[in-house]
Chains A and B, each alone.
Chain A
Amino acid sequence: MTTSVPQTRTAPPPARTKAKRHRPRRSARRLAPYLFLLPAAALFAVFKLYPIGRSFFLSLFKSVDGVDRYVGLDNYARLMDDPLFWTALRNTGIILVVQVPLMLALATGLAVALNSALLRARPVFRLGFFLPMITGLVAYGIIFSVLLNQQYGLANWLLSLVGFGEVPWLTDPLWAQISLGLALTWHYTGYNAVILLARLQTIPAELYNAAAVDGAGTWQSFRHVTLPGLRPAILLTTVLSTIGTLQIFDEPYILTRGGPDNATLTIGVYLYQNAFQYFDFGYASAIAYVLAVLIGVLGLIQFRVLGDKS
């Protein structure tokens, strides 16, 4: 792949050499990175750091009759006793332990196949499987909600052709969770496969040859060469998927609005409901902070488990 090999292009001719002043080059060079960074740093401070701090402050307040009252950690205590919060946490956790590993396994298989000489027309497949990724969350949420319509959707019609009964894709709690998982898998598998594929291409062919010489079969060379080589990419996709899953909002919001019976209520949806439907900013901020801590802790654990052992 031609990844931007910079040609030593002759820079614009050094015109007017006589006008060349002895500029304080050194100090310009010392100052330059700060100037380059200034826009990003300023924007980040105002629109990210300030809200992060402010959010914690808000989580210590409760709005009573339009007046904000300091309540200490009450919002956090309330969370612990809030059955809906635990439901949201459990639903999010289910996606995390069921959907994410399945999706990553699928993505790994896909990446290996996309890298294999056995597969013809690889560029077409690479592009095709990546296509769902560019579809907007709202767009594919809407598409899936219509496709999975119980009485009239295409999915059930196709299933009825082969003799299945109506599947309550979005109206039964368990099926709604499955549908959500299917939609997520459809959307993100290709993306993860691209990350894994990039890493796969860095595994030297000699390792495979050596394994073959040692008499390793397809499975053994996958197990002992491919998987260890993929470790950093698996770590990356796991961490990214975990962060994404814990924050998940768009899909359940569009597909099921968190229902039925709160079966697809995720932390993200619950936070949104509290903040922008009930306008309980303090409580929503507390949820956000618990979420941030969860993401941090899980990320650390994943780094420990999957991180460098080599």
Chain B
Amino acid sequence: MRQAMGQSRSPGKSIMLTSGFAVALAVVLIPFYWLVVASTHSTADIFGSPPPLLPGGHLGENLASLQETVSFGQVVLNSLLIAAVYTVCAGLVCTLAGYAFAKYRFKGQNWLFGVLMLGLVIPNQVTLVPLFQLMADWQWLNTYQAVIMPNLALPFGIFLMRQSMAALPDELLDSGRMDGCGEFKVFLRVVLPPMKPALAALAIFLFLFQWNDFIWPLIVLRDSGSYTIPVALASLQGVDDTDYGAILTGTAVAAIPMALVFLALQRHFVSGLLAGAVKE
């Protein structure tokens, strides 16, 4: 139905537009292609003239160098564990809260929601110093929980879930209650199953957020054994005689789970992002 725009126009225009976009997309994707190429070359090759345009055979050496300088295996494990635990826990916290806001009417509701959404507007930087001191007081520096805990109640996640849950018909919940389910059982058995696309979108969002988060892990992870991938890569970049081959290999490795998660769930992701806005 929204094909209405321009559907009667000439195919020539369409071909021009499409090929123009193909060129633009190619430009946008150059950094990705180049990342793959560069991660298989040595630093000397990368900065050679002309720069390498096709994959080389230096991948193994780059990985070995990463393992040696920042124990990359441990770093990847740190990142995976932190992101996975965070996604599950934050997903639960945000979904529960979003559900409460979407499907119940209670005293202080608007007020509470307003306070939580304050977190969207107040810059993260305001909390960095006191949070760091809190972590230091609790002796949580260099621990997983220091990275995971502070962002569990993510305002955007709560907002997203409230939006998605609002579309759920009340009758469905009531029928669950009629069947003798308690409130929590209704949530588990009746609310969650049809929410799968929204949950997938939330999960992707949370995973990527944590996987890519930089400033907070940079602050609380001071011991190189506890580094996440972004922190480890940034630490490599600062030194003299930077091994860019290794850094770019690490960057490429860091992109793999993201690409997998995204490709596997992208259908849900886009539909989840568009949920509430699209009415067809």
Interface residues of A (CB under 8 A from B): 1-9, 11-12, 14, 17, 20, 23, 25, 28-30, 32-34, 36-37, 39-41, 43-44, 47-52, 54-55, 58, 113, 115-121, 125-132, 134-140, 142-147, 149, 151-154, 157, 186, 190, 194-195, 197-199, 201-202, 205, 208-209, 218, 243, 246-247, 249-250, 253-254, 268, 271-272, 275-276, 281, 284-285, 287-289, 291-292, 295-296, 299
Contacts and interface: CB of A to CB of B under 8 A. Distances in A.
- Chain B's interface size range is 35 or more
A218 B17 CA distance: 15
B126 A288 contact: yes
B149 A47 contact: yes
Majority SS of interface residues in chain A? Answer: helix
A27 to B, nearest CB: 11
Given A11-B176, A36-B100, A113 B2 contact: no
Closest 3 CB pairs of A and B: A136-B212, A152-B47, A6-B194
A118 B50 contact: no
A299 B4 contact: no
B277 A198 contact: yes
Nearest to B237: A142
Contact of B128 (A40, A154, A208, A288): A288
Nearest to A114: B21
A285 B126 CA distance: 6
Contacts of A37: 96-97, 100-101, 112
A275 B172 contact: no
Interface string B115-137: 11001111111111111111000
A12 B100 CA distance: 23
B51 A117 contact: no
A143 B133 CA distance: 33
Given A118-B6, A142-B237, A271-B125, A3 B28 contact: no
Interface stretch (B55-63, B64-72, B181-189): B181-189
A254 B275 contact: no
Contact of A147 (B34, B49, B128, B211): B34
B193 A9 contact: yes
B31 A113 contact: no
B212 to A, nearest CB: 3
A254 B277 contact: no
B187 A288 contact: no
A139 B251 contact: yes
Contacts of A271: 125, 128
Contact of B34 (A8, A132, A154, A247): A154
B2 A32 contact: no
A33 B150 CA distance: 22
Nearest to A274: B129
A198 B25 contact: no
Contact of B254 (A49, A136, A197): A136
A117 B4 CA distance: 8
Given A117-B5, A275-B129, A142 B99 contact: no
A127 B21 CA distance: 13
A40 B153 contact: yes
A307 to B, nearest CB: 15
